[in-house]
Amino acid sequence: MKAHYFKHVPFEDLGSIRSWLMKDSYTITCTPFFESADLPVLQEIDLLIVMGGPMSVNDEKIHPWLVPEKKFIRQMIMSGKPVLGICLGAQLIASAMGAKVYPNSMKEIGWFPVYGIPSDDSSVFCFPQSLEAFHWHGETFDLPVGATHIAKSDGCKNQAFQLGRSVIGLQFHLETTPQSARELVAHCRNELVPAACIQTEKEILSAEAAQYQSINRLMDRILAFLSRNI
């Protein structure tokens, strides 16, 4: 099986997702949009993962590759193949499916609780009632038509959604490892200004190993859920 991921900046990579893909014997390929906008052949990939990045999905004049990227994401979704979007990736899925993406009332940066929204539908992924997740985002989105709202937080209502049986968008980062957290801080520390939902560099990087393990396990569950019909 082949997993392809869209990478928007050098310092936001797969994190813990890579270990899960390797354990399940996926071939991993990548489109690094900061170097090349070459897209894969849709029929040749089994799973698409859309990573984060500091740009906005609305920055099409600055980053013209956003246009074909969103078109490809929509085609992938319409094909029924599994798609996972993380932070910017979730916003790209929403935009590709016709929903609005815009600045949130506040930025969320650091470790903050996310709350699962229960569903009676067995085809919908079940989030924990509460989870301390890692965040780094300033924009939010409306839910695409037909999407199920599956997680929220105090600072941002639409934290996660599921579209059909094979598409999940996460505003927060479950793939984060100590190394990827350090990379984000190193490249984006200018955003760490005093605010209600922005932690300090020290607070972010003092997270214990158990916090990373908890979110990484949940990411493994999501990947298994999405790939169950491949």
CATH of residue 83: 3.40.50.880
Identify whether the C-beta of residue 138 lies closer than 8 Å to the C-beta of residue 104: yes
pLDDT greater than 90 at residue 229: no
Q: What's the whole-number mean pLDDT along residues 9-32?
A: 97
Structure tokens at 188: 């984006």
Return d(Cα 135, Cα 133) in angstroms, integer.
6
Domain count along the chain: 1
Strand partners, 224: none
Structural domain for 166, as ranges: 2-229
Q: What percentage of the chain reaches a pLDDT higher than 90? A: 98
Q: Is the pTM of this model over 0.85?
A: yes
Phi, psi of 71 (to 5 degrees): -60, -45
Phi, psi of 165 (to 5 degrees): -105, -5
pLDDT at position 107, please? 96
The string of pLDDT tens digits covering residues 173-185 is 999 999 999 999 9
pLDDT at position 230, please? 72
Q: What's the whole-number mean pLDDT along residues 20-40?
A: 96
pLDDT greater than 90 at residue 51: yes
Q: What's the whole-number mean pLDDT along residues 139-157?
A: 97
Q: What share of the chain is helix, strand, coil (3-state, %, to 5)?
A: 30, 25, 40
What DSSP letter does each residue of 98-124 carry, written as one string? T--EEEEEEEEEEEEEEEE---S-TTS
pLDDT greater than 90 at residue 228: no
Cα→Cα distances 8→42, 49, 167, Å: 19, 12, 20
Query: Buried b vs exposed e over 90-111: b needs ≥16 C-beta within 10 Å?
Result: bbbbbbbbebebeebeebbbbb
Nearest to 75 by CA among 56, 51, 93: 93
The string of pLDDT tens digits covering residues 61-115 is 999 999 999 999 999 999 999 999 999 999 999 999 999 999 999 999 999 999 9
Q: Where are the beta strands (DSSP E) in 117-163?
A: 131-141, 148-152, 160-163
Taking the mean position of all CA atoms in its chain, how far away is CA 186?
20
Return the amino acid letter for 173: H
